[in-house]
Amino acid sequence: MRLSAQFTNELIETLRFDNGISEEMQWVYERFGDDVYYKLKEFKPQIENYLAKNEIKLTNPNKKKLFSQEFWKSQLNILNDAKKLQEKIGTKQFDDFNELKKLVAKTIKDLKIKLDAKALKLILNAISWKNEGAERVIKKIETDGIIIYEPDTDLRDTENVPLDEDIQTYFEREVLQHIPDAWIDHSKTVKGYEISFTRYFYNYVPPRSIEEITAEILQLEKETDGILQDIILE
């Protein structure tokens, strides 16, 4: 995966709302403003009316979030922490997400910001986007120095490799020539067999000739005493 990232005001603002109910939370905030952080219960009837009027059906967990003042405050805290990071890091665009992650980690430590892993992930996801011109995102580096990159699930694919051929050799010949930065997740390698049921179990039966079919139709016509001819003439 290749990502760019930037602490812009627009991207940071999206942290005010949960991704699963962003439209609903945005409507509530635009309608009631910062009062949602102090007296959300007062607006419950109006919010329920909005949901019913627009035929919006939320799951119980999402409905609980929407009507939870504590949840709204937790999202606000994440947004404010992102703003603190922005003040220190600035609004420069990073085309090396690995560099940004290191800088964010250092800034969190310097500013003594208390961020759990989930909140940090929300911030990084909010300020980043896919960019094929950016550097590849490193997932981890093994003890032997091998670099494991974050996969892009949109680009994930599989290959059927002949059983008697080396996987790496096949990969270099058939894949790397077309996608230079492709890599193999060996934990997903599976040995199997593909059986052609048509080849081994299907018995081909050639179609009957036109002459044979015509003769059968004529015979049936005779047996029905001209009924078929009468129907066609009608």
Burial (CB < 10 A; 0-12, 13-18, 19+), residue 205, is exposed
Residue 224 is predicted with a pLDDT of 73
* 116 in a structural domain: yes
Residue 33: which domain range?
A: 3-130
Mean pLDDT across 80-99: 96
- State the average pLDDT over residues 195-214: 84
**Is 70 domain-assigned?**
yes
- Let me know if residue 211 belongs to a domain: no
Q: What is the CA radius of gyration of the chain?
A: 32
Average pLDDT for 200-223: 84
pLDDT per residue as tens digits for the range 113-143:
999 999 999 999 999 999 999 999 988 888 8
pLDDT at 189: 85
Q: Is the pLDDT of residue 206 over 70?
A: yes
Q: What is the pLDDT of residue 43?
A: 95
**CA atoms of 6 and 18, how far apart (whole Å):** 20
What is the total residue count of the chain?
A: 234
Does the residue 142 lie in any domain? no
Q: How many domains does the chain have?
A: 1
Exposed/middle/buried for residue 113 (C-beta within 10 Å: 0-12, 13-18, 19+): middle
Domain membership flag for residue 156: no
Q: What is the pLDDT of residue 227?
A: 65
In a domain, 160, yes or no: no
User: Has residue 32 been placed in a domain?
Assistant: yes
Least confident of 20-29, 64-73, 156-165, 180-189: 180-189
Cβ neighbours for 29, distance < 8 A, ≥ 6 positions apart: 16, 17, 36
If you average pLDDT over every residue of the chain, what do you get?
89
Domain-embedded: residue 86: yes
